[in-house]
Amino acid sequence: MTAVTLNHMPAGHNTGSGFKAPKNFFNMLIKAIVSGIKQELAARKAIRELSALTNAQLHDIGLTRSEIEHAARCGR
């Protein structure tokens, strides 16, 4: 009986799943997470600052109180 070969490897060799992440995959992942956290913190700061304005001040810049979060997260 002959040994079966898969992927040009002799039988009995463990080739794993075959998936190999790019060398910079984890760096890219960390950068994406950090970027998301920075965006969230900036949005929260903008929401806090806009919420401190009076209704008249919000009206002057073309916002209502109910539009603050959307404006801070998505822009106008």
- Residue-wise pLDDT for 11-58, tens only, equals 655 556 677 778 899 999 999 999 999 999 999 999 999 999 999 999
3-state helix vs strand vs coil in the chain, percent to 5: 55, 5, 40
Q: What is the pTM of this model?
A: 0.67
pLDDT digits (tens, 9 = 90+) for 19-30: 777 889 999 999
